[in-house]
Structure 1
Amino acid sequence: MAQNCPGFVNGIKVQPGNVSFNEYDAAAGYAAVVVTLGTNRTTIPSGASVAWTQTAGPAVVLSNANTLAPSFTAPTVGPGGDVLAFRVTATCTSRTGTETGMDTGTVTIVNVDRPPAVAPLASPPEAAVGDTVVLSANGSDPDGDAITYTWTQVPNGAPTAALATPNAASTQFVAPAAANDYTLEFRVTARSNALSASATVLVNVTAANLAPFAALACPSVVGEGQPLRLDGSGSYDPEGGALTYAWFVNEADAGLGFSLTGEAGPVVERSAPSLGLDMVGGVEVALRVTDDQGQYVDALCTFMIADVTAPSLTLPDDLLLDADSAAGTLVPAYAVSALDNVDGDLGALVACSPAAPHQFPMGATAVSCGVEDSAGNAAAGSFNVDVQDLSPPDFGPVSDIAIEGNALGGGILAYALPTATDKVDADVTVVCVPPSGDLFPVGSTTVECTATDDAGNESTAAFTATVHDTTPPTLDLPADIAGVEATGPDGAPVDFTATAFDIVDGDLVVYCTPASGSTFELGPTMVNCSATDTANNTGSGNFSVQVVDTTPPAVTPPANTTVEATGFLTAVDISTATATDAVGVVSLGHDAPASFPVGTTTITWTACDAARNCGTATSLVTVTDTTPPTLTLPGNIAGVEATGASGAIVTFSATASDLVDGVVVVTCTRASGSTFALGTTPVACRATDLAGNTGTGGFNVTVVDTTPPSFDPYTPPAPAVASGNSQALVSFPLPVARDLVDGAVTVSCDRASGSSFPVGRTRVSCSASDSRGNTATMGFDVVVSYAWTGFHRPVDNFPVINAVKAGSAIPVKFSLGGNQGLDIFVAGSPASGAVACMGGYTEEITLSETVNAGGSSLSYDATAGQYVYVWKTDKGWANSCRILQINLRDGTMQKAVFQFKK
């Protein structure tokens, strides 16, 4: 097998086969575009094979898919185009086994938009002043895109025509008036996407005086007194001349008094006249429109004056009638009438509900009446018939009564109500004052009675009620009072309550001896009491009072004390207590400690008298702890650099001390040593003593990301060989960049993979930015060189010495792997310099730019696939040697040695 089979597989690259770029214009029709693919290999060696497959984009059929240059017909794509991707796989089977190489490439199909076409048409193309002309546009778009149209008049001195719809495919206008014939020119522009096409059309107009047009609009029916508008403003002169107006009226009914005399404008606005008795109301109006040439036309319209006035209905005022019985009152007839401006007297047509005669019940009854004229105009009204009971009831006989006082202030007297009758109501309410069961004072009271029927009519009657008082009061005295404690050696004052109650007078003053509040001596004392009512009826009674001495001293403690703790124990000033006793205090003391803990302590105070009667009292001392602990926290912690996507670990110190409890535990919302996220995180801390007092504080921790991403080690693409026009399509993998926080980040380069690169060394600059704008950059070189295969005959390659005749023109031929254009030399190249004819040629050589024979330039022989440069030598170089040096744009230097003869 061939030795170059593994080399064929290694590094195979996809390249365009017959063009120098990868965009194919599909504007001329897709079927006409054939795309040929290619690689950087020229032949398939023995033992090797290739296979092409499509990997993305609209499906196409590859012809010769197992060759180095398959082709396909460009598919149909949308307005945005599409990208097709292909893979070439090269396989080599040699003695060492099977090797495979592959590469991918893309072809972009671009859909180029084409402009629309449009043809305008005028109908009719020849018109007279006042004619309506229709303009139509017939447009089409080769790509099937939507078309919009715009019509404009081309200025040419002709009158301006008003286009009805200038932005539609079809529009129209009325040929404007003019003194002479004229031609109108209109341009229509058709647009699809960003492309457009325009065309014009002509309309010839003949001038002539046309009769004016009279237009008259009026309502068919208008009501009496309503606004009436006669509108002739639609009249016009086709030539645009001034118009005059004359109005005439033909009345169908006499007596309307409707006239248009003196009206000279295009619009008349009036109020419709009112109709009279037996009038119909039809009116015919004529409008005469005359132009400035004396031509005129008439327009007529007819309208009706409608009877919209309702009849006048006269009804009686509301009636108030006295009831004859519980059934109400009979009304035999109503006093009603009606009059209409057209129909006259309509009284006989008035209808009421309920109709008379009618038995009206008690209360108000609405009577509704209505009448309608011959035009259907209706009048309606109502009045009320109110039947009321206006007569009062009649009382029967009444008698006087007397009782003994039986209640406070007199006596409760119950009596039977007098009776009363009414002609309407079966039951009549009788009310007496004072009422039965009320309290009557001692003596005689007149009772007045009122009988009221359901209608509120009243009648009155009266009788006398007498109350007598012969019963004495009843005393309420205390039981015998024993064990009254002496307040001094004289005994003790004693208060008591003695009351008396009379059935008529109520509570009475009681007189006792000794009186309440007197000082009673030690031992028993008898108390005598009596009370008399206003009728001089008297009641009496007695009880005893016993005074003793058994009371201990009374102790008054100081006020309770509350103080704030100053430490674990707190000294407190507890003040002092006082004590009193009727026979004197002997001793007073307490059980308070020297200092007090936090909380409430009870102090007991004790006082004793000479009789060994002792009394006690207590006071409270409360020591409170309301002072929270004091926290010691760090200040805001800023500028902590993130170590990963989750942020950074931050440590800090937070302590607290309390006046009572000493050192207190501090808790924070984020513990020291926690991982803090990017940004500012507030940390809130608190410490609580045993009394529940809480001290708080806080600070902020700010984690930042100022570290840019870093690039993974990168291997630049292998040098590429120019495929044509000193360019090569070079694919390379994007560098990979990673960030401590964001992980993998997007890398962008100023040259895309698969781009066309010129020969030589091109620097590709890449950058990567994290989400916080930290940016890292890197670069690598893409090297493109010519496929130099050496000089072709008649020039032998270095170090062979070419023997030539001095002064001759030497055709220097070489290949660069295809047509790379004519700009392949660097400035100052080719050049030559003298050397010794001994070989080696390592010495410094002074070069000078060559001169082309006959002023010719570099050329490319497409048939032979090689470049030809004719070097014109100098006759003075005879018997010397020179180097011809070619410096190419890919950075390489090629040379050949020549020995010149005469």
Structure 2
Amino acid sequence: MKRELLSAIALVALASPAMAGQSCDVIPQISPADQSVKELDPSGNPTVVKLNGQSSKDTTKYLWVQTSGPAVTLQEATSAQPTFVVPEVGPSGATLTFRLDASGCSPLQTKSLTTTVKVATTNQAPVAAATVSPEVVYEGTPLVTLDGSASSDPDGNPLSYVWSQLSGPAVTLHADGAKATFAAPADVPYPDGVSLSFRLTVSDGTLSSSTDKIVNVQWVNEPPKAVLACPETVNEGGSLVLDGSGSSDSDDGLAAYAWIQLQGTPNADLPDYDPATAARLEFTAPRLDSPNNKMDFRLQVTDYGKLTQDAVCTVKVLDVTAPVIGDGPGNLTAEATSAAGAEVTFTAPTATDNVDGVLAVSCTPASGATFPLGTSTVTCSVSDAAQNGASKEFSIKVQDTTAPAVTPPAPVTAEATGPTTEVAIGTASATDAVGVKAITSNAPASYPVGATIVTWSASDDAGNVGNATQSVTVRDTTAPVVTPPAAVTVEATGPSTSVVIGNASASDAVGVISLTSDAPSVFPVGTTVVTWAAKDAAGNTGTAPQSVTVQDTTPPALKGVPSGLTLITGQAATYEPTATDLVDGDVPVLCTPGSGYSFALGTSTVTCSAKDSHGNRASANFNVTVQYGFNGLLAPYDANKSYKVKSAIPLKWQFTNNTGAVLASAGAQPAVTIYQVSSGVAAEDAITLDDAGASGLQYDNLTNTWQFNWKTTGLSAGIYNVYIQSTLTGQKIGPFPVKLAK
């Protein structure tokens, strides 16, 4: 049974990772570790990439952070599988790096792992191009070659080639790389012959493109001749004529004309036409919206034998639209900086052109040129690559509205020589970008006591007036002389004390208008400096200090100190004295030993003291006397019994604590004193005790009991009082009356 219980406990331990000592360990994992993607998905949309950290071990929180590469926006960056949209990376591609911060376990662990996503430029489709040799095939021609070797791939990728027949009597194609050969059918319809169509599909391994070629197999009929005439150039928006009227057929004439634009932009808007008669097309040339300016047109003519031939021509569309200049700085106003005017800078407008895009505009006069006083015209112009030009004007007005800058003389301060004083104040100077005309001031002949502001004015030819001020001060700087009262020292009567400090006196050559002090109504303990201040009519203030000292030399007053305490052993001593100070109020009292202390038998001294914040100390002592407890004399003693003279009276007792429990007291031998009580007399007279050896004082260790056998031989009848006195504590217990009879 015990073995089965231990096995069960072991199974539980194995089932619990915590009990088995297993630990939690965060291990970030990214699957796949790195990725390579294309800019665009097969549908031509930006590729969406998913980062997968779901297989991370012991992970409860995820945080994905991009650390390098073109910036992208992570969707649900705190999930295990965030996604982002691949950015445009250009031909060279790009590498994006991301960091997974995986967190979990307790205490919390965070570990990191990085992954890269390489983005490649989206592959471009190849261009299929094909030729047929010979161009004219007659029925039964043994070898006709379809050649696609002129095909190309913009990315330079190797190509694969697939030829297939689309229409016409089936032939056997023999493919060899870019080329395929076949033998022309021996029998074709009379007199029209037959047309065979073939398709070349080229692929770079991902993308593909196709081109179709028609092979006309003639019985006798010669194919038509396509002749197309078109101008080399045409102005955008001008009339354009495509002329195929020179086309011909040597057999039975042309049956149809087919027109198509092969290359653009720009894209022409071909008009509707009748295929049977449309040997000539006329339409309006398109407007240019890019540097591309060439259009390729193809004319395909068909004879009545259904043979066809193509002719191609190229027309260049000429740019005749001038650039558009944007909003410029508008009419400007500048402040003149000299008699020559001012240098003015401005931001030239920009221009946009349908073909060349944004163009720089040049302005005359240029930004930063010096413009004279008055209004000048600035002309801004631009030309595109086709020399189509545009211009725009704005004005710059240079004006003088700035007043001269006046520099006054330095402030002047002079001591008063009377009600008014003559003062030399100097002369102001002035500067102006255009020129100063005159300088004046409103200075008086003499100055009163105080500050006078003199205003200096300067004007220029444009009527602008500048001002500056100069301060002229006539002062009385002599302060009154103050004589303070003598220093005062008093004893504190409380936290603050009322003090009589006396009065100061003051004198001044001009006259004192006020005499004040900052004395408080009461003073704190310590030294307070009272400042006496006297002020004259000129505002000059003289001061003098007076020292007022409130001292605290009175100790606290102790209250509640016991005169003495008497306790029974085991009884706790309690006392809580208090102390009050005139300045500090209630202050703490420290007693040694403290209240609640357990004192030994006998007399001990307790010292209590209190000290105020200024070091004044008060102290008091009292005695604590600890005595034995006593339950009286034990049997056979009986206070109501009469004992015979000459008998031995056994006196027994025990010492106890405050709860009445008997104490062991063998080491503290007591003394027994007996007094005879005289009849009618209050005083007691001690008698001589006869204590002869073994009948004397004894101690029983088993019962902790003292016993004294009192021998009464030689005593007279009467009443005697018995006292028990502890030699350890000085305690005297009694009286216990004993009656002796004859």
> Which interval holds the TM-score relative to the shorter structure?
0.3 to 0.5
What's the TM-score once normalised by structure 2's chain length? 0.32
What's the TM-score once normalised by structure 1's chain length? 0.27
